Amino acid sequence: MNVDRELLMQKAHQSGGTDSLIKLALENIDEANPDWTFAASRIYLHQLYESAAVNRGYDANIRYGNFYELIFMLTEKGIYSHRLLSKYTKEDIDYFDKIIQPERDLLFNYLGLYSLATRYLATDHNKNTYELPQERWMIIAMHLMQDEDPKYRNQYVTEAYWALSNLYMTVATPTLTNAGKTHGQLSSCFIDTVDDSLQSIYDSNTDIAKLSKNGGGIGVYMGKIRSRGSSIKGFKGMSSGVVPWIKQLNNTAVNVDQLGTRKGAIAIYLDVWHQDIEPFLDLKLNNGDDRLRAHDIFTGVCLPDYFMEQVEKRGDWYLFDPHEVRQVMGFSLEDFYDENNGDGSWREHYKACVQSEQLTKRVVPAIDIMKRIMKSQLESGTPFMFYRDEVNRQNSNSHNGIIYCSNLCTEITQNQSPTEFLEEYMEAENTIVKKYKAGDYVVCNLSSINLGKAVPNQVLERLIKIQVRMLDNVIDINTLPIKQTQITNQKYRAIGLGTFGWHHVLAKENIRWESDEAVTYADTLYEKIAYFTIRCSMELSKEKGSYPCFEGSKWQSGSYFTGKGYTDEKWIELKQAVAVHGIRNGYLMAVAPNSSTSMIAGSTASIDPVFKPFYFEEKKDFKIAVTAPDLDHNTYDIYRRSAYIVDQRWSVRQNAARQKHIDQSISFNFYVPNTIKASVLLDLHLQAWKEGLKTTYYVRSTSNDVEECEWCES
């Protein structure tokens, strides 16, 4: 939009200030006039430039002050890490100063700029503006490249800045917030596995509190914990089951908030064969005994293929106490999965448990469990669905462990194991030492491609090359609050390269959501992303070495590639190169929800459809009119079929096409009216399972009548 800055300032003065003019511009936003958001953004930019100039002592007309002086000033104030000045010379920083492009501030719409400025730009301790948007991008680039070879480091910083400042990609919220600063870790999510002991339960709670304090979201697998009525030290009926321990974590989520900005976010996963599954599924309901509720955690249920088969054929389902299974049968049911569709070691062990006359068991119709799952989903959005057999069949590191559950946002699937307490002893008169054997405590290091900008500009190959390097560097420079996470991070060097802006790119390519063309496009595009990501990690392995568990993995054997059906020449060459040179990262791709960072980049969230072509974005501190990105007469028809109208069966088909190419998983929501027929919602879940989805995220239901919802009546 062509906006005369001086004229806007003149009008601002006449109308009583820039706040009034911003409000006026925002009030003009509608479907016919979406560009008013950029007018509001430019006025707000002027405010930021003036505030920074006053606080830093330079003329606001030059917009950006001296970069080195900013770094020195905020280092002195204890905001920036001293590493920026110790790793980089003044000559380096002056070089970066010249590269900064203030005109790229004009790429922000108002909501994006407002979100970045109020949540992420570095301020002093009194919240005064110092850092400006392009300086945040440059600081992130410098921070992530600080340990690269000095011969190439400035080139890498320049490339990372190019990727960030053009909004071709975003880093995860903790990286966006904390990079370059004195404290705070850079990773988004963690997954813990709790063992069946008092020591493990309380140790886990302490670790989760530390991670939550530092801004992490946590997934917790509790399927190993004995059920209500189980024995303790041989005394029958003594255990109170998983619910009281989940309520403890609920209190942790409330009382240990994330960096003082929001309450902790914890997702608890339980197996559908666990004897406590029914009270677990009721945890989020708004009725019933509140002493048995945990309203501030999220729930996820781990589902084997055999359960879904029993649901479909209306068969019986057996519930067991995992402690009793271990004691009587000599194995843990959760440690197996079905290696093939319709057959495998999990169902063999499950059927052995069913046949055992020594085991206590309870039988319920499988469809009744599924009804309770769906009832909870329509009331609370959860539980999330975790299809454990498909996840483990597709695990590229199945040689080294098993995946029990996913994370808070259902996109991470990596090997897990509980940390084991070994011994406690006195080392000196007043020194007590506790020894542990570290388990695989999963860490997710995320960033996302902005499909709406990167694809039309044909920069995927260049972008992913720098993006993989940035993500890999997070692993080495991160400061994580518990040791197990550091060990696991180095062991697998897992990253999660994802995407957002799917609906945005469909609109720009003029592809209807409910079409075979969209499914084919998802297949083609995500195969391309997978190819570039794997190739870049292989190239990085040549330079820096493979992750420690590469030997014996599906990457090394090549079965990862054959399993995906990658048989053309370029894939065969890449498969051979990986076998020879290794791969830097044991896990590579994951599509997160990324609603906050996609908002900053002015695109659509994750792989979701927009809510409406025009709507109001509401948070606790603002309500702002928003239109779909690049909304005009060409794109309106694509956006018109919005979240609660679009046929979810097409969404499942699209997601199955992209899931084939993503080695981890995808945060995939269902959007349904709360009046949806149970049979239709059940069919969606069965379709998702049959088409190979690994996880599904929220069932987002609306109480409003949904117009044009023919599909949900079928």
Q: Which residues are catalytic?
A: 407, 409, 411
Q: Which residue type sits at 497? A: L
Q: β-strand 699-702 against 670-673: which pairing, if any? A: parallel
C-beta of residue 43 within 8 angstroms of C-beta of residue 8: yes
What's the order of all strands across the beta sheet hosting 496-500?
169-171, 446-450, 496-500
Peptide bond into 365 cis (omega under 30): no
CB contact burial 286-301 (16+ within 10 A = b; e otherwise): eeeeeeebbebbbbbb
The candidate with the shortest Cα–Cα distance to 588, out of 467, 669, 424, is 467
d(CA 478, CA 11): 47
- Alpha-carbon distances of 136 from 57, 130, 406, 460, rounded to whole Å: 19, 10, 31, 23
* Cα within 13 Å of Cα(614), Cβ side: 15
- 389: its two tokens: 């057999």
Nearest to 407 by CA among 612, 229, 647, 592: 592
Q: How far apart are CA 429 and CA 631, in angstroms?
A: 71
Q: How far is the C-alpha of 231 from the C-alpha of 321, rounded, in Å?
A: 10
Tokens of 160: 């990372």
Which CA distances in Å does 272 have to 288, 307, 406, 457, 618? 21, 8, 15, 46, 36
CB 536 within 8 A of CB 465: yes
Task: Yes or no: say if 712 and 673 are a contact pair by the CB < 8 Å rule.
Answer: yes
Which residue has 């492009």 as its token pair?
Answer: 101
Burial of 59 (0-12, 13-18, 19+ CB in 10 A): exposed
- Residue 343 to residue 176: CA distance in whole angstroms: 45
Residue 36 in contact with residue 2, Cβ under 8 Å?
no
CA distance 552 to 149: 30
Maximum Cα interatomic distance, the chain, rounded to a whole number of Å: 86
Q: How many CB atoms lie within 10 A of CB 433?
A: 10
